[in-house]
Amino acid sequence: MRIIDLLRFARERGEPIFSFEFFPPKTEDGERALFETVEALRPLGPAYVSVTYGAGGSTRAKTVELVKRLKRESEVEAMAHVTCVGASRDDIASVLDEVAAAGVQNVLALRGDPPRGQPGFVPHPDGFRYASELVAFIRSEPKRWRFCVGAAAYPEGHPETRDLGQDVRNLKVKVDAGADFLVTQLFFDNVHYFRFVDRARAAGIGVPILPGLMPFTNVEQVERFTAMCGAAIPPALRAAMEVRRNDPDAARELGVAYATIQSADLVRRGAPGVHFYTLNRSTSTRAIVAALRASEPWRF
């Protein structure tokens, strides 16, 4: 099913959707664990799961293989990430053809991060420089690819464009090219999400905007990710993290508690759902969604 339809049905019922992002494991044991994780998540009613590319598009083939397997073997809708990194138009078309033939209806169209060690993004000579061009390419052949297309959004501004006004103008180009919904980069202060939604709506962007959260499991991890994406850590959270820096169990408990509070506030205030960056660690995310399902904060 198309994710935009899942979002519409959920809105009609007055309920949020929950979704989960995974990356392709490097081993057979890791792959087996991923499918066990998806199976364990099924009782919590995930709307969909997505599978990323590795850095620089390095796991493109594995991503396609996993998305096809998820579509074939699980009862959870799957979404494939597709990036511009190191890929020609023909490469991208081949990926889109393959996942479409497998019955996958959803793709997340991304520019992608440059390969490790490369200071900036360099497009393939026969590829795309921006995600908006990739979205337009997918939309250029509606009979060939009938995908629901998602795209990324940055509540605190793109790491390469900290000008919030310019960032939302760039986003408008991407949506006008044909994006059906948006998923945000991670953030730790909900005020960034709601201000971003206000900016997007004022710019004429009307598509659903799913907030993306990362339930952190250790302090070094969250510092590494925020350094890459430019997300700010609120002072109170940073202080709580510092106290738990050398206590992995306490750090993980803090990550679960904080993300649960964040999620409950988001859906209670009207966010259409929450997309969780799981880092292939489902225990924390399962605890968060189970708590949300039990309390149904959107009802209050």
- Tell me the CA distances in angstroms from 227 to 136, 138, 187, one per residue in order: 31, 32, 12
**What's the pLDDT tens digit per position in 193-242?**
999 999 999 999 999 999 999 999 889 988 988 988 889 999 999 999 99
Marked catalytic residue, from 12, 15, 21, 253: 21
Alpha helices by DSSP H, listed for 140-231, are 164-176, 190-202, 219-229
Q: What is the pLDDT of residue 130?
A: 93
Residue 171, pLDDT > 80, answer yes
Domain coordinates of the chain in residue numbers?
3-299
Contact (CB, 8 A) for 76 and 116: no
The rounded distance, in Å, linking the Cα atoms of 205 and 45 is 28
Q: What is the pLDDT of residue 58?
A: 53
pTM to 2 decimals?
0.94
The rounded distance, in Å, linking the Cα atoms of 282 and 46 is 12
Mean pLDDT over residues 105-134, rounded?
86
Tokens describing residue 214: 């990362």
Three-class SS state of 14 = coil
CATH code, 3-299: 3.20.20.220
Q: What is the pLDDT of residue 55?
A: 53
Q: What is the pLDDT of residue 212?
A: 97
Alpha helices by DSSP H, listed for 28-163, are 28-41, 60-73, 89-101, 131-139
What percent of the chain is modeled with pLDDT above 70? 96
Angle value at C-alpha 168, between 205 and 136, nearest 5 degrees: 65
Known catalytic residue at 21: yes
Mean pLDDT over residues 145-172, rounded?
92
Tokens describing residue 15: 């309920």
241 or 299, greater pLDDT: 241
